[in-house]
Structure 1
Amino acid sequence: MTDMIDIKPVVADYDSMIKPDKVHSSLYSNPEIYEEELDKIFNNTWVWVGHESEVPDVGSYKTAMIGRHSVIVSRDRKKNLHVLLNRCRHRAATVCEGKKGKTKSFMCPYHGWGYSLDGALRAVPKPEEYEGVFDKSEYPLVSLRFETYQGLIFATFKEDLEPLEDFLGGAKKWIDLFIKQGGGYPLKVLGDHRFRFPGNWKIQLENTTDAYHFPIVHKSFVSSVDDQTAEVFDFLDGEGFVEDLGNGHSVMVMIPELVDLEEDLDAPIPERFQALAEELAAEGHSDLEVRRLVRAVGGSGFNLNLFPNVACSMAFFRTLVPISVNETEIHHVALGGEGAPAAFNQMRIRLHEHFQGPMGFGTPDDAEAWERVQKGSHAGTEEWILLNRGQENLSTSPDGNVAGAVCSETGMRAAYQQWKKMMTA
């Protein structure tokens, strides 16, 4: 991997802009701060680039972004994974423009340099003109360091960065719980959809650990479901909590009884899933299998925020891609079970469409709220974003972490402390 260019000097006094109870509004709107974030955060930590099920076979690939850098996640002929910088070594053109798919190689569209699935440079037009000039073996696509945990793929530009498992720390426990929603089958990406909103990436980072907005912003969703489901999502006064997991990660538990999807399999099957249970039983699945699938079909009862760019959010992955200081792209990734009954995966997709889908109830309402936050953040010159909810009502979790009530802003404070740590390093 080539060396990164030296990081630019600090453009602001971040110590004074990140307080224990608030952050300055310019973090949403200052373009110089945004550019420095891409260098100091996205170039210097583990960034989620995909799930192994998205590149299952020889020749499978997907493209992703690490800050401003386009990368390719590929699986070579030996079924080994690679994360490659999406840039021809000749004149810098991207060698892959597809979102995902299968291929035998990557080729630069400008001058025809061809690369294998592992990034090796295999062919150049008119090779005789390069005789004595360079050795093809010295010009592969740049490979990035990557590591995986439970199928989640993270990459980094830093060769000396701590191991991924150390970075995830207390979040590993919650990833282990999240992947149980395959209903006894390996977790599998079923598809995704993407959209952009006119707002800063940190607005969305905050949203996944913000239960406070749910009954207000998502009133239309709650009105669209049956009474039993509405009661499940009435969690602000429940036993849920938000826990700071370290390194900017946090978990927001909204429905404690759905934290571990392999527990309480003897519980009554909810009425809204009764038809699914009957269909699965008619297909010959045992009572235990039916109960495991039905319990997992609606997803986990928590949102897990992994700093800086991905959330394991109840039943789906939500990844954010910074586009500019005032534009962010969101990927909502629907999940199911590899080899699971079709009825189970179909129900997962239908539930995803109902809330997260482009015609669903949740995504449009969220996106409008985020847009209005960005618009409002430009009003005034010395205004602050408050993060003090629940600050004086904290406790210590069984794992020894700081925790607050489910509607506290504990997770946001955790993310901004990691942000400040990296921006002032």
Structure 2
Amino acid sequence: MNIAVPTPPALDMLVQSDRARTTLYTDRALFEEEMVKVFENTWVWVAHASELAKPGDFKTAHVGLQPVIVVRDRKNAVHVHVNRCRHRAATVCEVAQGKTSSFVCPYHGWAYALDGSLRGVPFEAGYDGQLDKTQFSLRSLRVEEYNGLIFATFKDDIEPLVDFLGGAKKWIDLFIKQGAGFPLVSLGEHKFRFPGNWKIQLENTTDAYHFPLVHKSFLSAADRETEDSWDIMNKGGFVEDLGNGHSVMVMMPELVDLEENLDAPIPEKFEALAAELRADYPEEQVRRIVRAVGGCGFNLNLFPNLGCSAAFFRVLQPVSVDETEIRHVALGMAGGPAAANRARLRIHEFFQGPMGFGTPDDAEIWDRVQHGAQGGRDLWVMLHRGLSHEESLPEGGRRSDVSAETGMRAAYAQWKRLMGA
């Protein structure tokens, strides 16, 4: 639930209900402030459970600008530690992902267990018995998980994760259904950087307005069946404010719940896949798998850094006021048919892959926004599309048509609350 709190007058000059100042993209001091007030004071997504499947599995990530290690210990508990030795501040892990029994600082050899506790110090006698190792564990964040999504926060007294997710929970549950009865698993990722502010990308995930324009090359290259399915401006979709900065954009209402309409005709482009699957699976399961291969018909934005988009995770990582790193995590069916996972990867490559049609076009536009923001810094970025016919929902959210900027208004309202807290 969104709770109204008084905001400093200066914030009202930056963000209003239907617009934001261009300086939100360009002001370095503001960027440094939001890295603390936003990213260190809310729940931030750090991993999917499949990336830490077994004890000892770890990955490195960031919470705002702070480097962290996400690791599963021998008791199966997940920890998130600041990636900084307590002695002289060197990182204790520089590997993106792997398996280990401990973390050892390469500078002076201080060794830490998976739970972050300090276990060993070389030549400890030099401290003359004055080193209390219990006081020098790695700094650990609070960690909670919802349906395989792992979040961490520096804020000890924050609301529980389930309350923070609020109205987004049902959409997470729907998104996870693309496992088609198999656990959802990361199939790998690719990452890139663009010369622009992180909020430019945050706006993009639930922005359908740009799709038929920016992604015209994708629509032109796709087969007619795919082109028709992506006619999202004419399918009766919507954008909904889910509270706490989260939003969902429903592009294809017929693909919201992937466990419905299993008796519908199999799309022509998936007939060969269905025929291959029938050698190993009964017809009902074949239909369930095929229906899930292309992902769900919506994009879910989880403030501040995760997009659950059709069939992949899009993770945004601020680097500086004018640079952002994007990770695209391809998703598949753990233990599912290899043919279905191959099909998912080919679809991912066609649009989101580094040589695909979608990612280069998006990155070019984000670059242009940052470049254009250097001019007319006193001008507003307008976020009022769809506002005139936006409706209030019984559960407290707001909804408008699929091309509305409802998602952006939701994100900036949460940004303003956190920056003014």
The interval holding the TM-score normalised by the smaller chain is over 0.9
Judged with a 3 Å threshold, the aligned counterparts in structure 2 of structure 1 residues 11 and 155 are, in CA distance, closer, same or farther, namely same
Q: CA deviation at 1:391?
A: 0.7
Query: Superposition pairs for residues 85-96 of structure 1, below 5 Å?
Result: 85-96=82-93
SS at match of 1:331: strand
d(CA) in 2 for partners of 1:64, 1:12: 35
Query: Superposition pairs for residues 251-290 of structure 1, below 5 Å?
Result: 251-282=248-279, 284-290=280-286
d(CA) in 1 for partners of 2:203, 2:284: 38
Q: CA deviation at 1:12?
A: 8.4
Query: Residue in 2 aligned with 1:322?
Result: 318
Which amino acid letter does the alignment assign opposite residue 226 of structure 2? T
Which amino acid letter does the alignment assign opposite residue 335 of structure 1? L
Which amino acid letter does the alignment assign opposite residue 91 of structure 1? R
Query: Residue in 2 aligned with 1:420?
Result: 416
SS at match of 1:206: helix
SS at match of 1:389: coil
Which amino acid letter does the alignment assign opposite residue 270 of structure 2? F
Query: Residue in 2 aligned with 1:109?
Result: 106
Which amino acid letter does the alignment assign opposite residue 330 of structure 1? I
Q: CA deviation at 1:138?
A: 2.2
Query: Residue in 1 aligned with 2:135?
Result: 138
Q: CA deviation at 1:217?
A: 0.7
Query: Residue in 2 aligned with 1:82?
Result: 79
Query: Residue in 1 aligned with 2:216?
Result: 219
Would you say 1:18 and 2:15 are equivalent positions? yes
SS at match of 2:329: strand
Which amino acid letter does the alignment assign opposite residue 200 of structure 1? N
- How many aligned positions are there? 415
Which amino acid letter does the alignment assign opposite residue 390 of structure 1? G
Mapped contact 2:218–2:357 kept (Cα < 8 A): yes
Would you say 1:337 and 2:333 are equivalent positions? yes
SS at match of 1:388: coil
1:379 aligned residue (375, 379, 383): 375
d(CA) in 1 for partners of 2:416, 2:132: 44
d(CA) in 2 for partners of 1:55, 1:403: 36
Q: CA deviation at 1:401?
A: 2.2
1:70 aligned residue (67, 72, 87): 67
d(CA) in 1 for partners of 2:18, 2:159: 29
Would you say 1:246 and 2:248 are equivalent positions? no
Query: Residue in 2 aligned with 1:129?
Result: 126
Which amino acid letter does the alignment assign opposite residue 376 of structure 1? G
Please, which moves more after superposition, 117-126 or 326-335? 117-126
Q: CA deviation at 1:122?
A: 1.3
Mapped contact 2:8–2:420 kept (Cα < 8 A): no
Which amino acid letter does the alignment assign opposite residue 163 of structure 1? P
Mapped contact 1:243–1:397 kept (Cα < 8 A): no
Q: CA deviation at 1:74?
A: 0.5
2:351 aligned residue (336, 350, 355): 355
Query: Residue in 2 aligned with 1:304?
Result: 300
Query: Residue in 2 aligned with 1:148?
Result: 145
Please, which moves more after superposition, 12-21 or 252-261? 12-21
Q: CA deviation at 1:395?
A: 2.1
Mapped contact 1:248–1:415 kept (Cα < 8 A): yes
SS at match of 1:13: helix
Q: CA deviation at 1:142?
A: 1.1
Query: Superposition pairs for residues 171-250 of structure 1, below 5 Å?
Result: 171-250=168-247
d(CA) in 2 for partners of 1:111, 1:356: 42
Mapped contact 1:58–1:77 kept (Cα < 8 A): yes
Alignment RMSD, CA only?
A: 1.3
d(CA) in 2 for partners of 1:307, 1:81: 22
SS at match of 1:42: coil
d(CA) in 2 for partners of 1:273, 1:396: 39
d(CA) in 1 for partners of 2:162, 2:405: 26
d(CA) in 2 for partners of 1:36, 1:11: 14
SS at match of 2:277: helix
Mapped contact 1:11–1:32 kept (Cα < 8 A): no
Mapped contact 2:229–2:252 kept (Cα < 8 A): yes
Judged with a 3 Å threshold, the aligned counterparts in structure 2 of structure 1 residues 274 and 399 are, in CA distance, closer, same or farther, namely farther
What TM-score, normalized to structure 2?
A: 0.97
Which amino acid letter does the alignment assign opposite residue 325 of structure 1? V
d(CA) in 1 for partners of 2:363, 2:369: 10
d(CA) in 1 for partners of 2:345, 2:377: 44
d(CA) in 1 for partners of 2:65, 2:383: 28
SS at match of 1:320: strand
d(CA) in 2 for partners of 1:355, 1:378: 30
SS at match of 2:12: helix
SS at match of 1:363: helix
d(CA) in 1 for partners of 2:229, 2:140: 46
Query: Residue in 1 aligned with 2:49?
Result: 52
Judged with a 3 Å threshold, the aligned counterparts in structure 2 of structure 1 residues 379 and 229 are, in CA distance, closer, same or farther, namely same
Q: CA deviation at 1:227?
A: 0.4
d(CA) in 1 for partners of 2:127, 2:354: 50
Mapped contact 1:185–1:338 kept (Cα < 8 A): yes
Q: Extract unaligned runs of 5+ from structure 2.
A: 1-6
SS at match of 2:188: strand
Query: Superposition pairs for residues 152-171 of structure 1, below 5 Å?
Result: 152-171=149-168
What TM-score, normalized to structure 1?
A: 0.96
Judged with a 3 Å threshold, the aligned counterparts in structure 2 of structure 1 residues 399 and 279 are, in CA distance, closer, same or farther, namely farther
d(CA) in 1 for partners of 2:80, 2:309: 25
